[in-house]
Amino acid sequence: MKASKEIIFSERIASSVSHELRNILAVIKENSGLLQDLIMLGKYDDSSGKLKKITDTILKQVSIGEETTTHLNKFAHLNDKDIELFSCKNELNELLGLIKRPLKQKGLDIVLNIDEDIKIEASRFFFQMTLYFIINEIIKLSEYGSKLEITFLKDKIKSQIELKTDCVLQIDIKTLENSLKENLAFMKTGLDKKENSIFLNTGRA
Amino acid sequence: MAIISIFSGKYSGAAQIVKKLEENHGYKVIRDYDVIEACVKKFNENKEIYEKAFFNPPSVFNSFTREKEKSLSEIKAAISELLNDNQIFYGFSSLLIPRKINHVVKILTIADLQYRIQNASNLGVSEKNAKKEILQADEKAAEFSHHIKNSGPWNPSLYDMVIPMDKTTTEKAYELILSQLGNPVLQYSKESKKHIEDFRLETKVGLELCRQGFDVDVDANGNDVSLTINKKVLFLSKLKNELTNAAKIIEGVSNVETKIGQNFYKADILTDQNFSRPHKVLLVDDEVDFIQTLSERLAIRDMPSFPVSSGREALEIMDRDHPEVMVLDLKMPGVDGYEVLRKTKEISPETEIIILTGHGNENDRTRCMELGAFAYLEKPADIDILTKTMKEAYENIQKKTAQN
């Protein structure tokens, strides 16, 4: 049985977040272990600032961990309402917070031009999922260290989210659209492609 | 007759002087490769070990393996045996002869870049190539000199005579050296004979202590040996005892004195060699906070390691320094862990690789083990389990080496 897109999306997010959390825990574990080692060796004197550096690292990692779990918690509540009016800016930021690991691994430099927010009425889960699969396609096909520029476009007629890269995108937009057709239909929207940009139509302004 | 030691900048014109001394006065020229050959015969090792000691920067693992110091101790021992009248030591080995041997005249020939390029051009070398060769040679000379003398190679205090070849002629430089050779201070004497014997004992003691994992400066005066500790030490009195006990049983040594040098607090010292743990451990993870802390904790457990934060750096070190055990993350930006694992097993199949990843799943585990990983651990791992696995990996290497 082939897993549905929704399950695949949820699994990928779980994998990315658990990877992130494991790394955070590993840093905390090693630093608290080092603290313990130094205590055992009787090195309480902090004139070199070593102990402070260790505790600073632990606190920094705890803070990253808190942020990650906040993203995860919000993700777990995406389906609380089937349809609602939401901010695309918030949802995009949530998604980027959840997929920090794969973005970092590909060295993708994300540039956001999203000051002028787009608000739509749809499913937040499907919105994030659609964006995820588009970004994932870009991650797969772009070179290491590429730039991904995400821009909210609005005019009198329509609003769009543009995802533009600085490398040649070999994405077959029809295949991508086809693979996302249920999502797109659910959101009553579609995709366009022009040069190195993919446009997610988000509706009438 | 005096022994001549000549160190020179590449294409500074020393080769012509050496040739004239050899042809006109019957001097035997000992070049670095002659010293290497003597080492190979004496210690039955590969010549690459000594080439590396002379001409390559130390391995990233050197601060805990002391490979370079061991090779240099062997080179010094070979030089001390080669030392004889009517010789010219020409090259890096000239820097290893102690100044206290008074019938050795230490000469530096140097010139500015323009002169050296012109000199190379007279030998048919293009300007571009000459410049490149000169810069590379100067870099190697600086690295070597700093390693053994803690000083640049052009420091006049290292020599009895500095000849700026761009301000004189080869003929005049040659005449100047000849005129100095008649100096009574440079004649072979009872005193200089004793200094050569002292040097031989120093190299013998230095080599033996280095093999036992100690890193100290050795000075000999007859049968009395003085050992200077120039590094940071945790238990000084224990180390002093160990050094004394190790040195006094060496043939030719009657009395041993241990001293503290001016760099006493600078770095770490290995008080003994622990043969049950790997000496060359490379840690590879893009999480810098993680890898540095792990490296510190391993060092506390007498398992020093070198951390790098990318697959690319890991492969560069792999190519040059062949670590024994590698602890490797899988998901890293750029060259990822799978590629490092695959390439390492191609370049250095004897290196054992322990995967330590936060992205653990059964597929990854199977794939890594098929690619030749020794073990697969998931983050956050327990330090005791990690060190145990590292020791097992090292035992596996030793077992394979014994079988071969």
Helix (H, G, I), strand (E, B) or coil at B366: helix
Query: How near does any CA of chain B get to the CA of A17, in Å?
Result: 10
Proportion of chain A in helix, strand, coil states, percent, rounded to 5: 55, 20, 25
Mean pLDDT, rounded, for B218-224: 94
**Is the CB of A37 less than 8 angstroms away from the CB of B336?**
no
Whether residue A35 lies within 8 A of chain B, CB to CB, comes out as: no
Least confident of A8-22, B100-114, B263-277: B263-277
Q: What's the whole-number mean pLDDT along residues A98-116?
A: 91
Q: Which chain A residue's Cα is nearest to B290?
A: A27
pTM of this prediction?
0.79
Mind telling me how many Å the CA of B276 is from chain A's nearest CA? 22
CA distance A136 to chain B (A): 16
Nearest CA in chain A to B285: A23
Q: Is the pLDDT of residue B269 over 60?
A: no
Please write the tens of the pLDDT for every residue from B126-184.
Answer: 999 999 999 999 999 999 999 998 899 999 999 999 999 999 999 999 999 999 888 88
Whether A30 sits inside 8 A of B293 (CB atoms) is yes
Residue A204 — pLDDT band, cuts 50, 70, 90?
A: low
Residue B234 has a pLDDT of 65
Residue A99 CA to residue A75 CA, distance in Å, equals 12
CB contact under 8 Å between B334 and A15, yes or no, is no
Q: Could you tell me the pLDDT band of residue B273, with boundaries at 50, 70 and 90?
A: low
Confidence of residue B265 (pLDDT cuts 50, 70, 90): low
Is the peptide bond preceding residue B380 cis, with omega within 30 degrees of 0? yes
Nearest by CB to A29, which of B332, B333, B380? B380
What is the structure's pLDDT at B235? 72
pLDDT of residue A188: 66
Cα–Cα nearest to B49, from B30, B29, B74: B74
pLDDT of res. A205 = 47
User: Is pLDDT at A193 greater than 70 in this prediction?
Assistant: yes
Confidence band of A186 (pLDDT split at 50, 70, 90): low
Which residues of chain A from 146 to 205 reach within 8 Å of chain B, CB to CB?
Answer: none
Residue A14 pLDDT: 95
Distance CA B57, CA B53 (A): 8
- Look at residue A187 in the predicted model and tell me its pLDDT: 65
Among residues of chain B, what percentage have pLDDT more than 90?
76
Torsion-angle region of A123 (φ positive above 0: left; ψ -120 to 50: alpha; else: beta): beta
3-state helix, strand, coil in chain B (%, to 5): 50, 15, 30
Under the banding of pLDDT at 50, 70 and 90, the label for residue B267 is: very low
pLDDT tens digits for A108-129?
999 999 988 999 888 899 899 9
Give the mean pLDDT of B355-366.
Answer: 91
Rounded CA gap, B186 and B383, in Å? Answer: 60
Instruction: Tell which A residues from 79 to 138 touch B, by Cβ distance under 8 Å.
Output: 101, 104-107
Per residue in B27-38, pLDDT (tens digit) is 999 999 999 999
Report the amino acid identity of residue A9.
F
Instruction: For chain B, give the mean pLDDT.
Output: 91
Residue A100 above 80 pLDDT?
A: yes
- Min distance B218 CA to chain A CA atoms (Å): 32
In a mutational test of the A interface, the residue from B232, B283, B285, B290 whose CB has the highest number of chain A CBs within 10 Å is B290
Beta strands B255-260 and B217-221 are: unpaired
B-proximal residues of A, 45-64, CB under 8 Å: 54, 57, 60-61
Which tokens is B81 given?
């045996």
Residue B272 has pLDDT above 60, yes or no: no
For the question of an ipTM over 0.95, the answer is no
Q: Hey, are the CB atoms on B293 and A28 less than 8 Å from each other?
A: no
